[in-house]
Amino acid sequence: MLKKITQTLKKKVQNPEALSLALKILKQNTKEGFFRLEHNLRVALIVQQMGFKEDVILAALLNGLAENKLFEARNNPVFKEVFFILKNFQKLKGVFDLKMALEKKPLKKWQKIALDLQSENIRKMFFVLSQDLRPVFLILAIALDEMENLHHFNQDLRAKKSLEALEIFSPLAYSLGALKIKGELEDFAFPQLYFKEYQWLRENVKEKTASLEKMAKNMEPIIEDQLKKEGVNFLKIESRGKHYFSLYQKLLRYNLDLDKIYDLVALRIITETVEDCYRALGAVHRAFKPQEGRIKDYIAKPKQNGYQAIQTTVFCPDCKRHIEIQIKTKEMHRIAEYGPASHLAYKKPGGNSKIQYHWMNQLRQWQEETKNPENLQTFLKNDIFKNSIFVFTPKKEIIELPKGATPIDFAYAIHSDIGEHCLGAKINGKMVSLNKHLETGQTVEILTSKAKSPSSDWLRIAKTPKAQGKIKEFFERVKGISFRKEREEAPTDKKVEEKGLSQMIKEKLSFLGKIMPKKKKEYAVLIGKQKGVAYKIAKCCSPQPKDTIAAFLTLSEPASIHKQTCQNFLKLQEKSPQRVMEASYI
């Protein structure tokens, strides 16, 4: 197997000498058959299958090896980017190995874990610490291989890694849109943590799944004939079974009634273009009666993690049962397995559930609009959570705060009483002043005293609106100090008479003119000589009213307005000229 993996990797890299050196270092520092050798080779194969290039493949081969074993590669300029990835990988791994304390939950509690605030903060913290997507996907690949080979670990480690898979890595994969990785991580963890429930599901679903798979196979030629009859271009039709862990979670919502699950086995139609997806939907509905209210268009309105497809449920008269059909393009299918960010990341050569993944929507837009690696790296460093830090409580919970936040902000974020009685603070076990700026990855402990109360200096030190508001409330409540702005004294009739109404109006207008910002002229954009078409200004070139512009139509977002000389626009135009429209400022 190891020889086969090595041969596959050699076919995929552009620099065989660098691969040979990495393999040599790996084999010199591991024994044949030893888990590290096999593990690193398999991880390298996983990241290659995700679509990553040789810098991530080489990092996968060298991960986990001692620093003093890598001197031969470190002196090679080809490995510069590899060590950048490994450095950020170690930064992520070190923080979470030391700080994360996980515990087993009842099965029903995992249903909301992808939207849980702590899980979201963990995911955000990954990006803040790495400022790069490649180390994040490397960690996912390592976790996936470890879960697939749990038999190499003792019982305690199997339980720990399974909890990490459900608490950290599965939600992380979901937020990146890597649904294949998410499902596999959960399915490997399921029997380790909930063996009784896993066994029940296997026994009860085996016969029904076999029956549904046969039904789906019988439907395939009918759908294929209908698609060909209507001239719909498609690449393949296939069936897939639902992942066990997500199936059990869904069953919990239906009192474990398998007859209410329509996607136990689903059919999948893969096309080349978006247009063919919609044409295929019409053809399917003419072959089978659709179930009302079960059509979901995730192409026009993608899920927050980037997932796109059309999903419909139809009735099969021969088997007297409903079955789900998913229609997507080849690219949508690949993205559903490894996520839009995996495609985006390898281009570099060198709360509220509705808004929780807004940053993934940004990544998806940049994937479509930006092919410049330097722009991507700038975006990751400056735009994603650029104003956020993430710190640990002593109980290993993660708190998100704005950049520049202090222990006082942290204290009020935990609880108002803790903030109000804050006496001092420790960072990583060492006493610090209350005006010390916090940094991502630190563990913060607040010391309190009932005799302590806020001082006026705290208003200058605190950065968050919550902390500032609570401090002001304390002074109003206890000290009787008001922070409300005094209202301007309204002019009396006598003052109006004495000064003259017109003169007062002139003075007022003159005063307002000095303090109010000058109103800039607002411009609109005509697209295809039409008003009212939704648009956004492309960040890559930021066209101004004096520039000659054009519009690029995106699949699920407003049209992007670019300078006609913009390099990103020219590449998009070359790739998809049919999606370019004339545009002009008015």
Instruction: Based on the fold, state whether residues 144 and 226 are members of the same structural domain.
Output: no
Residue 501 lies in a domain: no
For 534, half-sphere exposure in the C-beta direction (CA atoms, 13 angstrom radius) is 5
Find all residues with CB under 8 Å of 30, minimum gap 6, and list them: 36, 37, 40
User: By residue range, what is the domain housing residue 153?
Assistant: 2-190
User: What are the pLDDT digits (tens) for 378-437?
Assistant: 444 444 455 778 888 887 777 888 889 999 999 999 999 999 999 899 998 899 999 999
Assessment of whether the complete model's pTM goes beyond 0.85: no
Instruction: Based on the fold, state whether residues 34 and 91 are members of the same structural domain.
Output: yes
Residue 506 lies in a domain: no
User: What are the pLDDT digits (tens) for 435-479?
Assistant: 999 987 788 999 998 888 898 889 889 999 999 989 988 888 887
Q: What is the mean pLDDT of residues 352-377?
A: 41
Instruction: Based on the fold, state whether residues 170 and 218 are members of the same structural domain.
Output: no
Q: What is the mean pLDDT of residues 234-248?
A: 86
Instruction: Based on the fold, state whether residues 29 and 101 are members of the same structural domain.
Output: yes
Q: Give the CA distances from residue 127 to residues 140, 303, 384, in Å, rounded to whole numbers and listed in that order.
A: 13, 21, 8
Find all residues with CB under 8 Å of 504, minimum gap 6, and list them: 491, 495, 496
Instruction: Based on the fold, state whether residues 67 and 87 are members of the same structural domain.
Output: yes
Q: Write down which residue in 134, 168, 190 finishes a domain.
A: 190
The yes-or-no verdict on residue 248 having pLDDT over 70 is yes
Provide the 8-state DSSP code for 167: I
Give the number of residues written for the chain. Answer: 586
User: What are the pLDDT digits (tens) for 33-83?
Assistant: 567 888 999 999 998 888 788 888 999 998 888 877 887 888 888 888 888
User: What are the pLDDT digits (tens) for 290-318?
Assistant: 888 788 888 877 876 667 889 988 888 87
Amino acid in position 283: A
Domains contained in the chain, number = 4
Instruction: Based on the fold, state whether residues 160 and 12 are members of the same structural domain.
Output: yes
Instruction: Based on the fold, state whether residues 98 and 206 are members of the same structural domain.
Output: no
Domain of 234: which CATH number? Answer: 3.30.460.10
**Alpha helices in 13-53, H assignment, sequence order:** 16-28, 35-50
Q: Write down which residue in 138, 168, 190 finishes a domain.
A: 190
Question: For residues 308 and 96, is the Cβ–Cβ distance under 8 A?
Answer: no
Instruction: Quickly state the pLDDT bin for 532 (edges 50, 70, 90).
Output: low
Instruction: Based on the fold, state whether residues 470 and 542 are members of the same structural domain.
Output: no
Helix (H) or strand (E) holding 334: helix 330-338
Q: What is the mean pLDDT of residues 325-338?
A: 84
Q: Write down which residue in 163, 190, 217 finishes a domain.
A: 190
Rounded mean pLDDT of the chain?
Answer: 77
The yes-or-no verdict on residue 222 having pLDDT over 50 is yes
Instruction: Based on the fold, state whether residues 55 and 124 are members of the same structural domain.
Output: yes
User: What are the pLDDT digits (tens) for 467-525?
Assistant: 998 998 888 888 777 766 533 444 444 444 444 545 554 554 454 454 444 545 567 88
Instruction: Quickly state the pLDDT bin for 354 (edges 50, 70, 90).
Output: very low
Residue 500 lies in a domain: no
Instruction: Based on the fold, state whether residues 167 and 208 are members of the same structural domain.
Output: no
The yes-or-no verdict on residue 89 having pLDDT over 80 is yes
Nearest CA to 433 out of 418, 444, 449 is that of 444
Instruction: Based on the fold, state whether residues 152 and 37 are members of the same structural domain.
Output: yes
Domain of 416: which CATH number? Answer: 3.10.20.30
- Residue 319 in tokens: 């088997």
